[in-house]
Chain A
């Protein structure tokens, strides 16, 4: 079940022979727009992006100045009036109440303590929107969680939530898995994040936080990430024989299509034919698995 499913090419659907209409263009929900970016929040990526943006702005400004110089020299040579000097563009100010939270350096004592305890197992630690994020190496997940729970200064007793995100556009990983820990006694929250490639089986957190049991089953069901040493690695929300993992980005919103319907009583095939025709007009391929 963990085999990745080949994404259906939206442009060239397999058209079965027969008098049915399979108009995929008429059914926009069937089209899959694969994401092109990797929206993985992080301080390093943000700083790199800001630096790149600044460099691009600077280059643009340099070019504007150079263009002005040449235009001015040309105008002088021709004896015309010199052009207007360029104005450095200032970022536009909008008067909304929005203050976009950008990633910031880790200053919280918990993050600093984690960094000192775990050393190079911490890949990145930052704060954003008042939330603490600590990205760790995928092999040392269990150890990190145990540290968070047992350390006397951290005491994150409860695993509040676990979720995963699919990043098909990323090169060296496919999923980010987050563990939202809550310290009931200290009233703090912490997010532990790991990045896993396709096929990698991270360790199950069930031995540290028993509440991870169903959450990891949901992640497996929805994304197809299997967990090592999980007591019951089965689907939880979808039926057992479901094909594909719905929250992957290559999965269309309306599904891969309906499964073959067994019309046992329909000896003459009348109902079947009507159903196929109706489905064909709606752009649904009943023959698709």
Chain B
């Protein structure tokens, strides 16, 4: 009467909860996931190959298209990696502005995560709330560089332009309203019984597994490891900033939600410090018009909203473009942990697990 055979199903590649084109092969025993294999590559554009054939200045434009919800973080990694390769140091004011914009982008990325994650789980309202604040941030990006998503905000050696007039005022207006808005999300979700039922204890992964699998970012911090590249290997102006690394010991979906909310508070703090202590001075270092590299290799990692975003450059003597460019995409490495998180759990938790990893397929497939 009852059949006990295992069922194999495909989740994606076209499924709203996969946040792009991720295909997950699942083997199910009833409603329990027995095996899970993520299949990626549907969005592969060969960014690394293209960047090898573009100059250091041109390649940066491609980094916007990787993690398209956190383009400024990608830009920061690229310009700082190239600066490390050439031995350039950006002026202090430029580094402050970079820090500020990157933190704004972190908030924007976390807001998008919150919106879509809650939408996946079934809380529709948060989506509208979160996008309302994200709009303010995108307006700020637009004021700064003219683009809302694919920003190419920074330049090698500093910034192309100083802050536009009125930017500080606009940013302070955002700073005014944002803490209250964060509390609005918390009232909607933090003690919501349905939300807690769908997230508490779901998609657990402990600290040892996280480190073994290379998982970084909020997922690692929600497992209790206070590892943040902004503190561990500070770049930009993070060494001068006063902020904390939020961690939680539970290592489940709810803990990651709390960690990301706390991170938004810390980002808000950093933006405030940048606004208050913004130094005067030039925003561009003196660099030659044509950058010719020497034989050198660097690996530069920054803390992107999803985790450790690393750029690996190999320079050729007299080369105008990188001999080899490799991106260590946080989502790519974090997605490896998906089978570990959901094997033996229910099918409905797969959706929560994909959401809580905060993957962006443009970055995974590159």
Chain A residues with CB under 8 Å of chain B are 35, 37, 39-41, 45-46, 94-102, 128-131, 133, 157-161, 163, 165-166, 178, 180, 182, 184, 187, 189, 191, 209-211, 213-215, 222, 235-239, 246-247, 251, 253
Contact = CB atoms under 8 A, between A and B. Distances in A.
B314 interface: yes
Contacts of A238: 41, 44
A256 to B, nearest CB: 13
B336 interface: yes
Given A35-B316, A97-B287, A160-B216, 4 more contacts: A128-B298, A178-B312, A211-B213, A214-B335
Given A45-B295, A101-B296, A184-B227, A129 B84 contact: yes
- Which A-B residue pairs are the 6 nearest by beta carbons? A211-B214, A163-B326, A161-B328, A39-B316, A99-B87, A97-B285
B157 A97 contact: yes
A277 B70 CA distance: 42
Contacts of B225: 184
Most buried by A among B88, B212, B294, B299: B299
B87 A101 contact: yes
A247 B48 contact: yes
B160 interface: no
Nearest to A165: B324
Given A161-B328, A163-B326, A178-B297, A98 B214 contact: no
B336 A40 contact: no
B310 A239 contact: no
Contacts of B215: 211
A127 to B, nearest CB: 12
A157 B297 CA distance: 22
Contacts of B212: 158, 209-211
B44 A159 contact: no
Contacts of A189: 233, 299
Given A45-B295, A237-B40, A247-B49, A35 B323 contact: yes
A187 B286 contact: no
A215 B312 CA distance: 14
Contacts of A235: 41
Contact of B296 (A41, A99, A178, A213): A41
A108 B89 CA distance: 23
B324 to A, nearest CB: 4
A236 B323 contact: no
B165 interface: no
Nearest to A29: B53
Nearest to B84: A129
Contact of B286 (A96, A163, A213, A251): A96
A159 B214 contact: yes
Contacts of A187: 232-233
A211 B335 CA distance: 10
B288 interface: yes
A104 B89 CA distance: 20
Contacts of B296: 41, 100-101, 128-129
B317 interface: yes
Interface in B42-64: 44, 46, 48-50, 52-53
A236 B23 CA distance: 12
Contacts of A131: 297-299
Nearest to A213: B336
B287 A98 contact: yes
B88 A97 contact: yes
A96 B44 CA distance: 38
Contact of B41 (A159, A161, A180, A239): A239
27 contacts: A35-B323, A41-B296, A41-B297, A97-B88, A98-B87, A99-B88, A100-B86, A101-B84, A128-B296, A129-B85, A129-B87, A157-B211, A160-B216, A178-B297, A180-B299, A184-B227, A187-B232, A191-B297, A209-B212, A210-B212, A211-B214, A211-B333, A214-B332, A237-B41, A247-B52, A247-B324, A251-B49
Interface in B272-331: 285-288, 294-299, 301, 308, 310, 312, 314-317, 319, 323-324, 326, 328
Contacts of B336: 210-211, 213-214
Contacts of B308: 160, 182
B53 A237 contact: no
Contacts of B260: none
A165 B287 contact: no
A213 B53 CA distance: 28
Nearest to A235: B41
B227 to A, nearest CB: 5
A39 B317 contact: yes
B67 interface: no
Contacts of A130: 84
B366 interface: yes
Contacts of A35: 316, 323
A166 B328 CA distance: 18
Contacts of A46: 295
Contact of B288 (A98, A157, A163, A191): A98
Given A39-B316, A247-B48, A161 B86 contact: no
Contacts of B103: none
B124 to A, nearest CB: 34
Most buried by A among B215, B285, B323, B328: B323
B87 A39 contact: no
A102 B293 CA distance: 11
A157 B287 CA distance: 38
B365 interface: yes
Contacts of A158: 211-212, 214
